[in-house]
Structure 1
Amino acid sequence: MDGILPLWKPAGMTSHDCVMRIRRLLQTKKVGHTGTLDPDAEGVLPLCIGKATKLVPFMTNTSKTYLAEVILGQSTDTEDASGVVIEQKIPHQMPTNENIEHVLNMFTGDIVQIPPMYSAVRVNGKRLYEYARAQETVERPSRHVTIEHLEQTSPVDTGDHSFGIKVVCSKGTYIRTLCVDIGKALGYPAHMGRLIRMETGSIAKKATYTFEQIEQAVKTCQVHSLLLDMRVGIGNMDQLRVDEATRQKVLFGQKLPSPSQKMSTNPFAIIAGSELIAIYQYHPDKDGEIKPVRVFH
């Protein structure tokens, strides 16, 4: 059983919880997720099954699309609604849509973020959330991320001082932190309300299945029909098609001469017929040669 299972993660479960549940349902240990989604969030969580687990590091690099809620007036220690309020300044008059649009434009493009204390980023061998739970402070490393698209999706709600946003962003972006920084730019403490991941790479909500649907497919022995082809996981890579003789060399993990066509991505996928058989890259030390990164025997 090899392929990508497009799960719609429910709120209230960690990404690891989802992996463990699918392992039990499919009775296999070879299950991996392609990018952590906050426990309180719901949305697209592609799971790699069988040989497709070799695609995990490549799929985590794809862009993600989120719908989120920015709540002004209170900041929390977790930067979302589950945390303890640490600052409060209730807006007497909400920002206009024009003000919000101006601020959102400030955060479009390449930006720098400081990861939240309640996150899995490692500092000196420990997760930041371990420091936070022990009430210890530590310097957090900044990270560069890219906000490809950012727009307001719902008008200002004067009742709970909130508005909705849509974010298309690179790997490693913290939407919680983005909401907090947007609030600061508007002049208020803020935190993130609801969060939904609508797309991961080329996999969108309409392609996903719930746990209930997966469980039913297990009962009727139809799980294979839910799996996406492994080629879905390399949609952001160039593809090099090879003949049968080269296919055999690839499956043995051999280095090959560089192809006549220049690959615009590095690494890139090797396709034989309609099958993804390997991921190769240009050899870092030998011009005119390519070498395997992953081989799918």
Structure 2
Amino acid sequence: MAGEAGGAALGRAADKLFSLSGLFAVRKPKGPTSAAVLNLLKERLLAEAGVQTNGNKRNQVLKIGHGGTLDSAATGVLDQVTKEDLENVLLKFTGDIMQVPPLYSALKKGGERLSTLMKRGEAVEAKPARPVRVYSLSLQQFQPPLFTLGKDVECGGGFYVRSLVNDIGKELSTCATVQELTRTKQGPFTLEEHALHEDKWTIDEIARSLEHCTALLPGGPSRKKLKTEHPGETAVICEDK
């Protein structure tokens, strides 16, 4: 009898998992890639639901995607620049600007990510500059050779912070790269209020998060409108320090 009760509970968990559909926020720690975080999330949820998978077939069982790739790590430096120099340069990168995406990115060439091609040592050409928008940009801290941009760096889609920092270095006749990056907001979802920590990657917690996050979407669309032919979730990835 105990075995039958346990099986019924797992069946209910699986039914609940596959009935979920919509948007929710996940906190991404520093280290793993965005794809690795999604894979771990899938494994946790499928294990909780008692769903058996066969290796790479797990993607066919539960569909989860993310709204924007975050790098696993980066390093940085800035040399022989005054605080006033830096503040003046930041003004040039506010508003509508042209930006060349970084070579090490999720953009694709011939169906493969540029980052994957670079890891294999293949020659990769930069993508053409494209228009992006920066709503606000400010200097929070300046401690040569390091500087920190304010938390109010607000930008539109397709914008790369790594390209911004690289361009700032060039504008100052030096070089600069990213040492640490934290995305504090993606659309209406904030890191502090909405992003689920790893200890809350459960079916029930995600169900509650879906209800809460769906209400934040423009126009307040219902969950019914968000359902697709393939039940699953779309995760918005946020990165922790």
Task: Please give the TM-score of this superposition, normalised by the length of structure 2.
Answer: 0.69
Corresponding residue SS for 1:8: strand
1:197 paired to 2:149: no
Tell me how far apart the structure 1 counterparts of residues 206 and 113 of structure 2 sit (CA, whole Å). 36
- CA offset at residue 125 of structure 1? 3.7
Aligned length: 194
CA contact (8 A) 2:188 2:217 kept: no
- The structure-2 alpha-carbon separation of the partners of 1:226 and 1:100, relative to structure 1 and needing over 3 Å to count, comes to same
1:107-158 CA distances to partner (integer Å, 9 max, x unpaired)?
001111111111121234443224423241425222211111101111x213
Long gaps (5+) in structure 1: 42-68, 74-90, 240-268, 280-293
Q: Of residues 152, 168, 171 in structure 1, which corresponds to 2:157?
A: 171
Counterparts of 1:131-142 in structure 2, within 5 Å, are: 131-133=117-119, 134-142=121-129
Instruction: State the partner residue of 1:29.
Output: 62
- CA offset at residue 101 of structure 1? 1.5
Q: Share of identical aligned residues, percent?
A: 28
- Paired letter, 1:122: K
- The structure-2 alpha-carbon separation of the partners of 1:295 and 1:148, relative to structure 1 and needing over 3 Å to count, comes to farther
CA contact (8 A) 2:189 2:213 kept: no
- Paired letter, 2:34: S
Alpha carbon RMSD of aligned pairs, Å?
2.9
CA contact (8 A) 1:152 1:164 kept: yes
Q: Of residues 85, 102, 107 in structure 2, which corresponds to 1:99?
A: 85
Tell me how far apart the structure 2 counterparts of residues 277 and 223 of structure 1 sit (CA, whole Å). 17
Tell me how far apart the structure 2 counterparts of residues 70 and 182 of structure 1 sit (CA, whole Å). 12
Task: Please give the TM-score of this superposition, normalised by the length of structure 1.
Answer: 0.57
CA contact (8 A) 2:118 2:124 kept: yes
- Tell me which protein shows more strand as a share of its residues: 1
Long gaps (5+) in structure 2: 1-19, 47-60, 232-241
- Paired letter, 2:109: V
Q: Of residues 180, 183, 186 in structure 1, which corresponds to 2:172?
A: 186
1:34-64 CA distances to partner (integer Å, 9 max, x unpaired)?
11111228xxxxxxxxxxxxxxxxxxxxxxx
CA contact (8 A) 2:76 2:179 kept: yes
